């Protein structure tokens, strides 16, 4: 696929995610209840189809099995997609998320 077409697809997916789920809802799924939400946010924003699970685990500062479970959960919740295979996943984010700011209730 050409780079231009690939970029157009990314923009369309991002726009659909914003209108269907919203940035706040996706951010909540990624960060809420996490010990280090910024690290998970960085890992989510690193989902470009190239970074592997081990690399993402290092970014999120968690063990590889924890990251695998997190990625499976995110995929089930529809905030990432796998363009690879089950044996060699290539995870992509729906959109780039801004810095996490917890709700007032979450920061208590």
In a domain, 108, yes or no: no
The Cα 81–Cα 65 span in angstroms is 19
The DSSP line for 41-72 is HHHHHT-BSSS-HHHHHHHHTS-HHHHHHHHH
- Interval 74-89 mean pLDDT: 92
The tally of domains found in the chain comes to: 1
Q: For 24-54, how does the pLDDT look when each residue is reduced to its tens digit (9 = 90+)?
A: 999 999 999 999 999 999 999 999 999 999 9
- According to the model, what pLDDT value does residue 10 have? 81
In a domain, 70, yes or no: yes
Q: CATH number, domain at 84?
A: 1.10.10.10
CB-based contact 74:30 (threshold 8 Å): yes
Residue 54's domain comprises: 3-93
Of the candidates 70, 55, 62, which has an alpha carbon nearest to the alpha carbon of residue 35? Answer: 62
In a domain, 106, yes or no: no
In a domain, 100, yes or no: no
- According to the model, what pLDDT value does residue 58 have? 96
Of the candidates 65, 63, 64, 75, which has an alpha carbon nearest to the alpha carbon of residue 30? Answer: 75
């Amino acid at each position: 696929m050409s780079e231009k077409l690939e970029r157009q697809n990314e923009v369309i997916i991002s726009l659909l995610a914003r209108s269907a789920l919203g940035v706040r809802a996706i951010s909540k799924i990624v960060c809420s209840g996490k010990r280090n939400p910024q690290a998970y946010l960085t890992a989510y924003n690193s989902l470009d189809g190239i970074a592997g699970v081990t690399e993402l685990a290092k970014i999120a500062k968690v063990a590889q099995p924890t990251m695998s479970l997190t990625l499976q959960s995110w995929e089930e919740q529809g905030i990432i997609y796998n363009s690879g295979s089950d044996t060699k996943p290539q995870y992509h984010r729906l959109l780039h998320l801004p810095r996490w700011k917890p709700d007032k209730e979450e920061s208590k």
